[in-house]
Amino acid sequence: MQYADYEYYQTEYGGKMSVDDYKRFGRRAERRIDGITGNKLQFAFPTNERDVEAVKDCVCELADFLYQIDSYSAAAMESMGTVAQADGTVKGKVITSISSGSESIGYSASGSVSTATMEAAKDKKVSDTMVYGIVRDFLGGVPDSNGVNFLYAGIPYPVRNAPISRPPEEKPVERPEEPTGPQDPDKNKDTVSKSYLETDAKNTDDSGIGYVDSVVVYNRYINGLMETETYFGTRFDNVRVELTQGANQKASGMENASVCVVKIKNANFPKPYKAPEIWNDLTTEEMLESFTLDAEGKNFFVIIKKAELGIDIDVPVGRIEQDETKYPGGFFEYIKTKYGYAFSVDTVDVYTLIPRFEIGRR
């Protein structure tokens, strides 16, 4: 589904890009919007005319911005060098303007020109901040077809089930940066009763399916300069998958709704964990040798082994480059369509009594 076609971009929005450029950068804009809004447009596209226009204008504005960044980057080498002036002096060249359509780049010899777009082209954090700002300006306060604000990042969606009662020590704690293995349960003896310890151990290890399932978790990295997407897949064996589709359908009224929680013991980590802010600053090779978890729409997981569902499959792991010809509609959609049981990570909780992560969609 294309959120805003070229005809709207050209006639209603007044954009100047060529149809080929808009096809490329419009697609990138839609992916960035999906990442920020939690893919709500995929299943709850608005029906109100003004809200639909807000979505379309957001795509057009963001596409233009991404085009400008790409143009600055492509012209970076050309902008290096000098300009000889009439008086014989030589000064550095700096890009001062870029036009859409038939490309026209202007230079300044003063060496002092700086714009927000130029800064965004040089700094991924600046670019990400400006991208979010554009989406916020257009979609802040705009509801989807279910009446949920597009920028609402809470869970679950669209209704909240009654919270599960947990013993006191089972409340999530602040996520550690690099858990390396199980912590000593003896550290909790002063504050946790023996009955709680026994109850937690029984419910976690002995009931139901136990830790016998497997998943692959995909971490997504977006290169802010080149607007490319790379996924890093990590396989986790001996995890516990709890899938409760029927209960959530009854509560939400959505036919395809589901609750899926994956419990991963620290002892079962196949490689080191890195906090998201650390992982995002690693080199590609370092990203491949580690993994991260966050609930900001950048991760998803797919169940690859679960006897009760008859699932025993292999999916790509390691480094996967997003390629529209190979993965039309995006890598997540490809995995979900081909293999099923793929879920975006909406929650990440950390527990210390029995050290583990719990990730899932609720």
pLDDT for position 197? 35
Is the pTM above the cut of 0.85?
no
Q: Helix (H, G, I), strand (E, B), or coil: what is residue 3?
A: coil
Say what percent of the chain tops pLDDT 70.
66
Percent composition of the chain: helix, strand, coil (DSSP 3-state, to 5): 35, 25, 40
More confident call, 356 vs 213: 213
Q: Is the pLDDT of residue 233 over 90?
A: yes
Residue 261: what are its φ and ψ, rounded to 5°?
A: -120, 135
What pLDDT band is residue 309 in, cutting at 50, 70 and 90? confident
Exposed / middle / buried, residue 184 (Cβ in 10 Å: 0-12, 13-18, 19+): exposed
Pairing state between β 299-306 and 356-361: unpaired
Q: Is the pLDDT of residue 292 over 60?
A: yes
More confident call, 280 vs 194: 280
The pLDDT tens digits for 14-34 are 999 999 999 999 999 999 999
CA 348, distance to chain mean position in Å, is 14
pLDDT for position 171? 47
The pLDDT tens digits for 82-125 are 555 555 555 555 555 545 454 454 544 444 444 677 777 777 78
Give 160's strand partners: none
More confident call, 117 vs 300: 300
CA 253, distance to chain mean position in Å, is 26
Say what percent of the chain tops pLDDT 90.
28
Name, in order, each residue with C-beta under 8 angstroms of 149's C-beta and a sequence gap of 6 or more.
140, 141, 142, 143
Name, in order, each residue with C-beta under 8 angstroms of 19's C-beta and a sequence gap of 6 or more.
6
Q: Helix (H, G, I), strand (E, B), or coil: what is residue 326?
A: coil
Q: Compute the distance between CA of residue 353 and CA of residue 184 in angstroms, rounded to an integer.
A: 8
Average pLDDT, the chain: 75
The pLDDT tens digits for 184-222 are 544 444 433 333 333 333 334 433 347 899 999 999 988
pLDDT for position 9? 94
Q: DSSP letters of 139-166?
A: HTT-B-TTS-BTT---SSSSSPPPPPP-
The pLDDT tens digits for 240-274 are 988 765 434 333 333 444 578 899 988 889 999 98
The letter for the amino acid at 258 is S
What pLDDT band is residue 78 in, cutting at 50, 70 and 90? low
Pairing state between β 213-223 and 228-244: antiparallel
Domain boundaries, the chain: 6-139, 168-361
The pLDDT tens digits for 156-179 are 555 433 333 333 444 455 555 555
For helices 124-139 and 49-74, the axis angle rounded to 10 degrees is 160
